[in-house]
Structure 1
């Protein structure tokens, strides 16, 4: 009776979901984040449902298996526009292709798990320690001498070395994050060495999945398109970036506001959109987003900023913007806006300035049905360079929270040659 009562109580709560994003899986994340009946969690150990959204390349499937086996029982996996792993491709596998059906499928699976109508998913990997230790070493517990071996399966910490910033001698912890770490771009995997909370080394093992651009930007490379439509998609891209950064800063209310604004970009009148964005910008300042949550380091300048292009370049004072060479944009009074500092706060202020600029362009363009004049160079919402090598140089010496904020401020993924499906 008690178990039945607890099950009925638990099923009223939100479905706990860990999103493992593959290629082009961001739409599923945004759709579930808007649903109050679904709670997206940052670790599979707090989830009942693993959502695999988008294609997962074969070389990352073992990493997906490790994520799967971290879910506590009872658990289940849903496949959104994705091919199930061979071991889980059974007749009962839940495969969803329709975006509108995704939230309902998640909630249905959650209810079936809690009420025991559905069995838990099987484990995919052998239950063996990654570091064998039993019966090994001087005393049979894996340890060797004072510092060697893997006592009880855990490697000994390396001898302390001076910290990069303050000289404190602390043990170094080396680990791998990604490619399904939800606090940075999907697909990115890195070997990280931390000493205390200071990043000592950061080596990219697997690059982030290429980021597709909206279809309208692909069409703009072959024919004139409506400037208002281009700029609405640009605003949407920047607001999605704010959604991720605000979630990382533990400001979920503001993150949901950014997501709601992004979803309204395609259809809401520009005057109403501008008013809502102004209120959102004031809320960012009131909640201390710039003063409390953003590090002042990780400055890009010169050739590094120019190589990345886009927001990162203009935040460092580089006035490169292909729209300036387009007669359609020039007739609307376009000129590049820039910042000078080139650091993390400057990149977010640059996004705000470009959203404001785009909203003004939308208002003017819709009045005269303005279209682009050039097709040989189109300014994409994200930069055209890759930030992977820059991360390896910029992140060492930062605190871990500062490193995460730095990654969030950059368009890390390369641009996909294919439009968003």
Structure 2
């Protein structure tokens, strides 16, 4: 067996998976992340590194072109699967891996790999561009100088990104001059977003305990931290956050979780590297946050990216300490992204403040700022047009 054949067989045995999620697909995404972790399948961060493309969540016609663009940039041999629900994940991945093994066994290289003449949109899914880059124009920078302008987009499908959200930016150098967010609107015709579901049930008169809400909120914050830490390049801590998230959702008792949750919070909260990497980014003081309708951790943090992730950590520790409380949940109590009585889509306000936080920031900071707010894509998809996000 030659070296090429050995490499292909190794790929089929342990393929790199590029998972992307659609709005409304949080439960399916969580199931996929758990499956990949338990089966030790490596994640791909870009199409160029991927062997399998796994789409989780409902089929969204508006996102099909973006999914197809990702698929075009996976090198052969490759396979793709769609798991619309959590229960569909194992079967979809099994079929996908079988397809990849067949391609590998048959020596199907689909033309020998990626078409080198194709424009590279990357993971964001934008317009076709020569040499993989958009053309630059000119415009005045923030100091009145005339510099080249570059128009780029982040989203709607991107690793560790709110699915369905697109942020179009105008850059001069590596500084964001303008930022305009938009999102896919699906309408309020589906189930309550997973993370806010206990509050929706309580508001409807169903019995929900404080423990159930605390468990869901802590899991949501750990999910957000997993994305932020992954974007920051701290893969080990991101994996720990996601494992603790899954243990909370599995119903692991508070006494068993408490020691490791506290160790994790101390480790991340005291990390000098993470602090120095993110300090001063995306400053949002409490007064400005409340004026924009922002509530929850982002408003209480009243500061930069470190202030927000440390607030998440404090809330996680506090919620794990509340596991076991059987008192009924007050529907007005703050959910994972904030909210309260009469506020069903607190994530919409998180997107509304993005332009002022991104403008003037370096491009490298943009994804960290978005991850530190982490608007819920399920809430954004359900939010009506009048919430003030461009559709």
Normalised-by-shorter TM-score class: 0.7 to 0.9
Name the structure 2 match of 1:225: 208
**Deviation (angstroms), 1:406:** 1.0
Identify if the C-alpha distance between structure 1 residues 11 and 76 changes in structure 2 by more than 3 Å, giving closer, same or farther.
Answer: closer
Query: Is the contact between residue 185 and residue 381 of structure 2 (CA under 8 Å) also seen in structure 1?
Result: no
Following the alignment from structure 2 to structure 1, what is the Cα–Cα distance between the partners of residues 93 and 134? 42
Given the alignment, which residue of 77, 80, 84 partners 2:83?
Answer: 80
State the match for 1:193 in structure 2: 170
Alpha carbons 1:309, 1:385 under 8 Å: kept: no
Q: Which secondary structure does the structure 2 equivalent of 1:245 belong to?
A: helix
Say yes or no: does 1:5 pair with 2:17: no
C-alpha separation in 2, matches of 1:180 and 1:380: 25
Q: Contact 1:295 / 1:402 at 8 angstroms: preserved in 2?
A: no
Q: Is the 1:208–1:413 contact (alpha carbons within 8 Å) kept by the matching residues of 2?
A: no
Look up the match of 1:116: 106
Q: How far off is 1:42 after superposition?
A: 1.9
CA distance, structure 1, for counterparts of residue 87 and residue 313 of structure 2:
34
Contact kept, 8 Å, 2:265 with 2:314, in 1: the verdict is: no
1:361 aligns with 2:311: no
Cα separation, 1, equivalents of 2:152 and 2:263: 41
Instruction: Report the counterpart of residue 181 of structure 1 in structure 2.
Output: 158
Q: 1:151 to 1:188 in 2, by over 3 A?
A: closer
Change (3 A) 1:160 1:64: same
CA RMSD across the alignment: 3.4
Structure 1 counterpart of 2:389: none
SS in 2 for 1:98: helix
| Cα separation, 1, equivalents of 2:59 and 2:6 | 39
Deviations 1:134-162 (A, max 9, x none): xxxxxxxxxxxxxxxx9999765324644
**CA 1:253–1:309: 2 relative to 1, 3 Å:** same
CA distance in 1, matches of 2:294, 2:47: 33
**Matched-pair contact (CA < 8 Å) for 2:184–2:381:** no
Q: TM-score, normalised by structure 1?
A: 0.72
Are the structure 2 counterparts of residues 401 and 18 from structure 1 closer, same or farther at C-alpha, using a change threshold of 3 Å?
A: same
Computing the radius of gyration from Cα coordinates, the structure with the larger value is 1
Deviates more, 1:32-41 or 1:267-276: 32-41
**Residue number in structure 1 paired with 2:19:** 19
Quote the Cα distance in structure 2 between the aligned partners of 1:179 and 1:416: 12
Moved more, 179-188 or 26-35: 26-35
Contact 1:45–1:70 (8 Å) recurs in 2? yes
On the 8 A contact 1:207/1:413 being kept in 2, the answer is no
Does the C-alpha gap of structure 1 residues 227 and 153 become closer, same or farther in structure 2, counting only changes over 3 Å?
A: closer
Give distance in 2, aligned partners of 1:153 and 1:213.
Answer: 37
Change in 2 beyond 3 A, CA 1:6/1:302: closer
1: distance between equivalents of 2:236 and 2:139?
41
Which secondary structure state, in structure 1, belongs to the residue aligned with residue 373 of structure 2?
coil
- The reply on whether 1:370 has 2:333 as its aligned counterpart is no
Instruction: Return the structure number with greater helix share.
Output: 2
Shift of 1:216: 3.0
1:271 aligns with 2:255: yes
2:373 is matched with 410
Partner of 2:289: 304
Structure 1, 345-354 or 105-114: larger mean CA deviation: 105-114
Distance in 2 (alpha carbons) for counterparts of 1:417 and 1:41: 26
Query: In 2, Cα distance between the equivalents of 1:179 and 1:277?
Result: 32
Deviation at 1:295, TM superposition (A): 3.1
8 Å Cα contact 1:305/1:312 also seen in 2:
no
Q: 1:98 aligns with which of 68, 88, 105?
A: 88
Aligned to 2:388: none
Task: Point out where structure 1 has 5 or more consecutive residues left out of the alignment.
Answer: 83-95, 131-149, 317-341
Whether the 8 Å contact between 1:186 and 1:208 is mirrored in structure 2 is no
In structure 1, what is the Cα distance between the partners aligned to 2:133 and 2:5?
A: 40
> Is the 8 Å Cα contact of residues 136 and 151 (structure 2) preserved in structure 1?
no
Q: How does 1:87-166 map to 2 (within 5 A)?
A: 97-116=87-106, 156-159=135-138, 161-162=140-141, 164=142
Matched, 1:67 2:70: yes
